[in-house]
Amino acid sequence: MKTNHLLIAILLACFTFSISVMSCKSEKKDAIPALLARDKQLGTAEEQANIKSVYDKAIAAVKKNPDDLQQYVNLATVFVAEGRVTGNSSYYGNAAMEMLNKVIDSKTANKDIVFQALNIKSAVELNMHQFKDALATAKQGVAISNYNAGIFGALVDANVEMGNYDDAVKDCDSMMNIKPDLRAYSRASYLRQIYGQNAGAIEAMKMAVDAGLPGNESTEWARTTLGDLYLNFGNLDSASLMYRSSLVYRPDYPFALIGLARVEKAKKNYDGAIDQTKKAIKVLSEVAFVGLLGDLYELKGDAAKAKETQIDVIRLLGEAQKSEEKDALVKHNVSREMATANLNAGNLDEALKFAKTDLEMRPNNIDANELAAWIYYVKGDYAGAKTHADKMLATNSKNPITMYKAGAIYVAAGDMERGQKLMGEATTMNPYIDARIVSAAKQPVAMNKQ
C-alpha cells in the first residue's frame, strides 16, 4: 500500500538500510562487522566518539593478535551500545553474537573472559526477546561467577519475562547485595510495580535516577521510566517534568519526546501528541512509536490515517523479519509486537495467533496474559478472556490499565461486583484511561444491565 506518511517512509528506509548492510555482511563472514554510518545525530558527540575509539582500538589489536579474546568482548560491547543508541538491534545484535561466539567457542581455559561473553550474550538475547535462551545463558554465567551484579540483572530480566517472579525477586536481592546502583534500583522498581507496590516502585526509580550521571543514556532512560510511572498513575504534571528534565540533559532523547506525546494523549490533545510522536520518530524509528501514531489518529477520529498507519506497522514488522538472514545467530522475536499491531488493526484472528505464540514461550507472564485476555475480550470470547484475566492479576499488580481491562472482562463474564470494583479502583488511581479501552468496556456493561 502506498503511504503518504513521511515518517513511515523514514522507518521503512531504516529497515531497508539494515537489509543492505546485512547482505554485505553475509558476503564477508570472516570480517569484523562494521560500525554503520549514522545518518543523523543520536546521543552525544562524546558518546559516539568513545564508541568509535573503543572500536578502532579493538580492530587494531585484533589485527596484531587474532587470538586476543578480550578484543572480541570489547567489540561486542561496542555493538550492544551502538544498537541501543541507534535502535538497529538486528544488525548490531548479530554483530555482537558473532564476536561473543568466538570467545565462547574458543574452549579457552580463561573463565573470566568466557563469563564476560556470556554476560553480554544474555543481554543481546533479552534485547531480541529470546527470553528462554537469555535465561539459560545467564544461568551459565552465574555458574562461573555469582559475584557479578550484571549477570544477576540478566537473570532478573529473563525471569520476569518468563513469569518466574519469585525467582526474579531473589535475583534482584542478590544484585542489590553485590552492587546497589542504577541497574539494581531500576529492577527493584519494576518488581515492586509487578507486586502492586506502586509507591515503592516510584521511590526505587527515583533512587535509580539519583545513582546515575545526568545525560547518560542509562540515566535518562531511568528518568523517563520514572515519568512513565507518574503518567501511569495519573500524575501528568510530574510525568511531564521528568520528560522535560530529560530533554534538558539529553536533547531530542526519543523516549522523553514520546513521553510528552503520551502526556498530551492523556489530556486528549491529540494534535499535540501527534506532533511530539513525529519528533520522536524522526530521531529513532521505533515501531512502537509508529504504532502510537496510529492510535492517536484513531483517537482523533481520522480513521483513514489510523488504518493506513496500523497496516504499515504490520507490514514493516513482517519486512523486518524477512530481512533477517536465514542463518542469523539471533533473530528478533516479534510475536508480542505482531499481536499488538494486528489487534490495533482489527485483525483479531491474526492477533490471537501471535499472542498464543508469545504465551507458549512464557505462559505465566502477566503481560502476555493481559494481551491475550484483551484480544479474547474484543473478539467477544469472555470465558477465554476471563481465564487469562485471572492470570494477569496473579501478582496483585496495581497497574490501573491492567485493572481496568480486567474489570471490563469480569463484568462481561458475569462477575459484575468484582469487575466494577476493579474498574472503579483503576479510574480512581488514573482518571486518564485510554478512551479506546473505556469505549470497548461500555458495550458489555450495557449488555449485562439489560
- Which range (226-230, 296-300, 326-330) has the least confidence? 326-330
Long-range contacts of 273-277 (CB under 8 A, 24+ apart): 274/300
Which pLDDT score, from 0 to 100, does residue 388 have?
98
d(CA 408, CA 14) in angstroms, rounded, equals: 39
pLDDT tens for 72-131 read: 999 999 999 998 888 788 899 999 999 999 999 998 999 999 999 999 999 999 999 999
Which pLDDT score, from 0 to 100, does residue 327 have?
81
Say how far residue 286 (Cα) sits from the centre of its chain. Answer: 10
Q: Would you call 95 exposed, middle or buried from its count of C-beta atoms within 10 A (0-12, 13-18, 19+)? A: buried
Give residue 374's pLDDT band: very low, low, confident or very high (50, 70, 90). very high
* Higher-scoring residue by pLDDT: 9, 413: 413
pLDDT surpassing 80 at residue 23: no
Task: List the grid coordinates of 167.
Answer: 525467582
* Higher-scoring residue by pLDDT: 447, 55: 55
Task: List the grid coordinates of 252.
Answer: 531530542
Question: Is the overall model pTM greater than 0.75, yes or no?
Answer: yes
Which pLDDT score, from 0 to 100, does residue 273 have?
98
The angle formed by the CA atoms of residues 36, 275 and 202, to the nearest 5 degrees, is 80
pLDDT surpassing 80 at residue 14: no
pLDDT surpassing 70 at residue 133: yes
For the chain, helix (H) and strand (E) counts, in that order, are: 23, 0
Give residue 26's pLDDT band: very low, low, confident or very high (50, 70, 90). very low
pLDDT tens for 262-319 read: 999 999 999 999 999 999 999 988 889 999 999 999 999 999 999 999 998 998 888 8
d(CA 317, CA 313) in angstroms, rounded, equals: 6
CA distances from 62 to 31, 99, 298 (A): 11, 12, 53
Average pLDDT over residues 364-371: 98
Give residue 204's pLDDT band: very low, low, confident or very high (50, 70, 90). very high
Give residue 442's pLDDT band: very low, low, confident or very high (50, 70, 90). confident
**What percent of the chain is modeled with pLDDT above 90?**
80
* Amino acid at site 277: T
Average pLDDT over residues 319-326: 79
- Show the domains of the chain with their CATH numbers: 1-25+212-322 (1.25.40.10), 32-121 (no CATH), 335-450 (1.25.40.10)
Angle between helices 287-300 and 254-266 (to 10 degrees): 20
403, 435 contact by CB (below 8 A) = no
Say how far residue 216 (Cα) sits from the centre of its chain. Answer: 19
